[in-house]
Amino acid sequence: MSSVKTWRRAALAAYIAAGVALPLAGYALVTTQANVNAVAAAQQRLSDSQWRDHLTNDDQASADRAAGELLPLDSRPYSPAIDWAAVAVRVAPSVVMVSTLENARGDGRSNRAWLIPGVQTNQATAWLTRYRAWKAEWAKRDQEREWVTMGAGFLVGDGHQVATAGHVLSGTEAVRVKLASGEWRPARVVGVDPSQDVALLHIEGEPGQPVTVAPAMPRQGHAVATIGAPQGWGFSLSAGLVSRYGTAAGMFQDWPMLQIAAPIIGGNSGGLVFNTRGEAVGMVSFGKQTFNQAVPIGRVLDVAAQLERWDAVMGRCNALTNGDVCG
Question: What is the pLDDT, as a whole number, of residue 197?
Answer: 93
Question: What is the pLDDT, as a whole number, of residue 24?
Answer: 53
Q: Which residue from 94, 98, 96 is spatially nearest to 278, judged by alpha carbons?
A: 94
Which tops the pLDDT comparison, 71 or 232? 232
Provide mean pLDDT across the span 100-111: 64
- Separation of first and last alpha carbons in the chain: 117
Most confident of 49-58, 69-78, 260-269, 294-303: 294-303
On whether the CB atoms of residues 245 and 290 are closer than 8 A, the answer is no
* pLDDT category of residue 267 using cuts at 50, 70 and 90: confident
Q: Is a pLDDT exceeding 90 seen at residue 133? A: no
Tell me the C-alpha distance between 51 and 48, whole Å. Answer: 5
* pLDDT category of residue 193 using cuts at 50, 70 and 90: very high
For 13-38, write each residue's pLDDT tens digit.
Answer: 665 665 655 555 555 544 555 555 65
On whether the CB atoms of residues 149 and 95 are closer than 8 A, the answer is no
Rounded percentage of the chain residues whose pLDDT exceeds 70: 61
Question: What is the pLDDT, as a whole number, of residue 291?
Answer: 80
Neighbours of 161 (CB within 10 A): 24
For 64-87, write each residue's pLDDT tens digit.
Answer: 555 444 467 888 998 889 999 999
273: Cβ–Cβ under 8 A, 6 or more apart, which residues?
Answer: 224, 225, 226, 258, 260, 280, 281, 282, 283, 284, 294, 297
